[in-house]
Amino acid sequence: MKTKSNNSYAVSIALIAALGGLLFGYDTAVISGAEQSVENYLIDSLDLGSLVHGLTVSSALIGCIIGGLISGFFSNNLGRKKSLLLAACLFLISALGSAYPEFLFFEFNEPSIELLIMFNFYRVIGGIGVGIASATSPTYIGEIAPQGIRGTLVAWYQFAVIFGQLVVYFVNWGIASGQTTAWVNEVGWRLMFASEVIPALLFFGLLFYVPETPRYLASKNKEDQALNILSKVNGSREKAKEILNDIRESLNSKKSTGKIFSFGKTVIIVGVMLSIFQQFVGINVALYYAPRIFESMGAGENASMLQTVIMGVVNVAFTIIAIRTVDRWGRKPLLLIGSIGMAFGMFGVALLAANNVFGIGTLIFIIIYTASFMMSWGPICWVLLSEIFPNKVRGQAMAIAVAAQWAANFLISSTYPAMIDISGGMTYGFYGLMSVLSAVFVWKMVPETKGKSLEELENVWKKDLDEQES
């Protein structure tokens, strides 16, 4: 009963931290319903081309790269909790500014290059929040979760991402449903961005009820506070003392110099490549451009948004599969199964696109692809990133991996309009190829982390470094 009670405490604070994922999903996916109206208002009216359109749709990702890069600084100096509070404030500013970019400096509904720049500025601000949260939320959950349910709790972060995307799909559909295109282009898109204020305020308020992580506190020589939190999370003061002793040894290890490559280059390379493959398989193309993809299949504007909602429901369902199996099956089996499913789905879409066949078959292959991603690379990548980096370099290493992830995301998302103009078959075939290569990478390079403490996992990289030095 006691263990159950403390697991409940760990789950509650992990779910609050996971709201950073909900804001991540909400902020990055809100553009899916608004991008055609933004294109009409700020791109077509200024006679700008598809390159500017792609960059505008993906501008938040520039902020995500910046946020990822600076997340290590804030995480190590402010702490995990205060970094999440900072991210919540940035989400709020971005929501209001993106909805009303004319604030203070411009005439309402008078498009200009300067207004386009200001709109992108607010989207970049939100992206910085996403970048900070996407590095800090999984780190927070991984550092505070009991060993036996760590994978499950970190996987809830990805569930929050997908749930945030699903919520915003419903919000966008609800705002646009029954309205004229003219109304959506004038007012509706603004309401879509403004709706993010609600989850941003919820996240900000709830963060005041969570503690700092014990591993961060120990790194700042606040061992009494760390011990109290470990006791509360693990249900036993004796168990907490054992864990704290392992943390202390980890932080005081001769190899723990604090330099980014103090445990060798392999762990950094694995983290970066996990991040890059998670994006190069093309998932965010399916998320950001979903309504437009479905319209190209012959669906009307509102019908395409409804199909996007259906896809979102499937995504949530398959993320739950990952949550329920990650601590039983392990990380590697799920990644390998997911890579095979993604390759099958994307090659199917590529074959149909190459033959100009659109319809229910395309929808089925897209759902197979996204379902495979959501039960594998979506949540499991975050689980592994929260686990594989040693305590002394976790903030810095996570920042590098997350920045690489957002850079890859930006590259894939911003080039999609130009690639699809050249060849749909080539575009989707490329994502299928990346899915195959991701399976090879996991098979050869990624260690299994199930059932090991964060401190035990450091031995994997110490052994690897010893072999390199010998």
The domains of the chain are located at 2-210+253-469
Instruction: Give the tens place of pLDDT for each residue, 153-207.
Output: 999 998 898 888 888 878 888 888 877 888 888 888 899 999 999 999 999 999 9
Which candidate, 51, 63, 73, places its Cα nearest to that of 125? 63
Q: What angle do CA 374, 202, 172 make, to 5 degrees?
A: 55
Tell me: domain 2-210+253-469, CATH 1.20.1250.20, correct? Answer: yes
pLDDT value, residue 450: 85
Name the more confident of 123 and 303: 123
* pLDDT above 70 coverage of the chain, percent: 90
pLDDT value, residue 4: 44
Find all residues with CB under 8 Å of 75, minimum gap 6, and list them. Answer: 83, 135, 136, 139, 216, 395, 398, 399
Is pLDDT above 70 for 303? no
Alpha helix ranges (H) inside 235-280: 237-252, 266-280
| Of the candidate ranges 19-28, 90-99, 296-305, the one whose mean pLDDT is the lowest | 296-305
pLDDT value, residue 46: 74
pLDDT value, residue 1: 38
**235 in helix, strand or coil?**
coil
Find all residues with CB under 8 Å of 398, minimum gap 6, and list them. Answer: 71, 72, 75, 135, 136, 138, 139, 271, 385, 386, 389
What is the 8-class DSSP label of residue 213?
A: P
- The count of other CB atoms within 10 Å of the CB of residue 6 is 17
- How far the first Cα of the chain sits from its last, in Å, is 49
* Spatial separation of the C-alpha atoms in residues 321 and 341, rounded to whole Å: 14
Residue pair 428/282 in contact by the 8 Å Cβ criterion = yes
Residue pair 462/249 in contact by the 8 Å Cβ criterion = no
Is pLDDT above 50 for 5? no
* Spatial separation of the C-alpha atoms in residues 309 and 332, rounded to whole Å: 30
Residue pair 465/264 in contact by the 8 Å Cβ criterion = yes
Work out the mean pLDDT of the chain and round it to a whole number. 84
Average pLDDT over every residue of 405-420: 82
Average pLDDT over every residue of 137-154: 90
Residue 236: pLDDT band with limits 50, 70, 90:
confident
On the 0-12 / 13-18 / 19+ scale of CB atoms within 10 A, 236 is middle
Sign (positive or negative) of CA dihedral 17, 311, 122, 414? positive
Full DSSP string of 309-362: HHHHHHHHHHHHHHHHHHHHH-HHHHHHHHHHHHHHHHHHHHHHHHTT--SHHH
pLDDT value, residue 210: 93
Residue 307: pLDDT band with limits 50, 70, 90:
low
* Spatial separation of the C-alpha atoms in residues 338 and 281, rounded to whole Å: 11
Name the more confident of 5 and 445: 445
Q: Half-sphere exposure (CA, 13 Å, Cβ side) for 259?
A: 8
| Of the candidate ranges 39-48, 147-156, 226-235, the one whose mean pLDDT is the lowest | 39-48
pLDDT value, residue 188: 87
* Spatial separation of the C-alpha atoms in residues 245 and 269, rounded to whole Å: 29
Is pLDDT above 90 for 248? no
Is pLDDT above 70 for 440? yes
Instruction: Give the tens place of pLDDT for each residue, 316-330.
Output: 889 899 999 888 888
Is pLDDT above 90 for 265? no
